[in-house]
Structure 1
Amino acid sequence: MLVGLIVAGGGWAAWTASQTRRVPVYRAEIVKAYPHDIDAFTQGLEFAGGELFEGTGQYGKSRLRKVQLETGAVLQEVDLPRDVFGEGITVWKDRIIQLTWQERLGLIFDKATFETTGRFRYQGEGWGLTHDESNLIMSDGTATIRFLDPETFKVVRSIRVSTPEGQPVDQLNELEYINGEILANIWNTSTIARISAKDGRILGWIDLSTIRPRRAIGSNAVLNGIAYEPTSKRLFVTGKNWSELFEIRVVPVR
Structure 2
Amino acid sequence: MPILSYLRAMKKHVQLLRGLAISIGLVFTACNNNNKPKEQSVTAVTSPAFMEYTVVKVYPHDTSSYTEGLLVHNNELFESTGREGFSKFAQVDLATGKAIREHYIDKSIFGEGITIFDNKIYQLTYRSNKVFVYDLKDFKKIAEYPWPGEGWALTHDGKSLIASTGTSNLQFLDPNTLQVQKVLSVTDQNGPVNNINELEYVDGFIYSNQFLTNNILKINAETGSVVARADLTDLFAQGGKVFNPAQLPDPNEDVLNGIAYDSARGSFFVTGKQWPYLFEVKFR
Report the Cα offset of residue 231 of structure 1.
2.2
Name the aligned partner's letter for residue 73 of structure 2: A
Q: How far has the Cα of 1:141 moved from its partner?
A: 0.4
Indicate the residue corresponding to 1:237 in structure 2: 270
RMSD between superposed Cα atoms in Å:
1.6
Structure 2 unaligned regions, length at least 5: 1-44
Aligned-partner residue type, residue 217 of structure 2: A
Distance between the aligned counterparts of 2:129 and 2:83, measured in 1?
A: 15
Q: Could you state the TM-score of these two structures normalised by the residue count of structure 1? A: 0.88
Could you tell me which amino acid in structure 1 is paired with residue 83 of structure 2? Q
Q: Which has the higher strand share?
A: 1
Q: Report deviation, 1:21.
A: 5.9
Q: 1:234 Cα shift?
A: 1.7
**Which structure features the higher share of helix residues?**
2
Residue of structure 2 aligned with 1:209, choices 233, 248, 252 = 233
Contact 1:28 1:210 in 2 (8 A): no
Aligned to 2:155: 130
Greater Cα offset, 205-214 or 86-95: 205-214
Point out the more displaced range, 38-47 or 215-224.
215-224
Per-residue deviation at 1:189? 0.7
Q: Give the TM-score of the pair, scaled to structure 2.
A: 0.79
Q: Deviations over 1:71-92 (max 9, x none)?
A: 1121001111111101110001
**Structure with bigger gyration radius:** 2
Match of 1:71, SS?
A: coil
Give identity over the alignment, percent: 38
Alignment-derived partner of residue 200 in structure 2: 176
In 1, the alpha carbon distance for the partners of 2:52 and 2:109 equals 35
Do structure 1's residue 46 and structure 2's residue 79 form an aligned pair? Answer: no
State the shift of 1:216 in Å: 3.2
Gaps of 5+ in 1: 1-19
Give the distance between the partners of 2:260 and 2:248, measured in 1 at CA: 20
- Of structures 1 and 2, the one with the larger relative CO (CA 8 A, separation 6+) is 1
For the residues of structure 2 that align with 1:91 and 1:169, how far apart are their CA atoms?
Answer: 26
The aligned residue for residue 59 of structure 2 is 34
Structure 1 residue ranges (4+ consecutive) displaced by more than 4 angstroms after TM superposition: none
Alignment check: 8 A CA contact 1:183 1:195 kept? yes
Match for 1:218: what amino acid? D
2:90 aligns with 65
The partner residue of 2:122 within 97, 103, 109 is 97
Q: What per-residue deviation string (whole Å, max 9, x for no partner) do you get for residues 224-254 of structure 1?
A: 0000011221211000000010001223xxx
